[in-house]
Amino acid sequence: MGRITQRDRVLAYIKDFGSITSWEAYKDLGVTQLGTRIWELKKLGYVFTKQRVNVKNRYGDPSHYDMYMLVEANG
Per-residue pLDDT of the chain (75 residues), as tens digits, is 589 999 999 999 999 999 999 999 999 999 999 999 999 999 999 999 999 999 999 999 999 999 999 997 765
Which pLDDT score is estimated for 16?
A: 97
**What 8-state DSSP symbol labels residue 30?**
-
**C-alpha span between 10 and 68 (Å, rounded):** 10
Three-state SS string across 34-74, please?
HHHHHHHHHHCCCEEEEEEEEEECCCCCEEEEEEEEEEECC
> Domains (ranges, CATH) in the chain?
6-72 (1.10.10)
Beta bridge partners of 54: 64
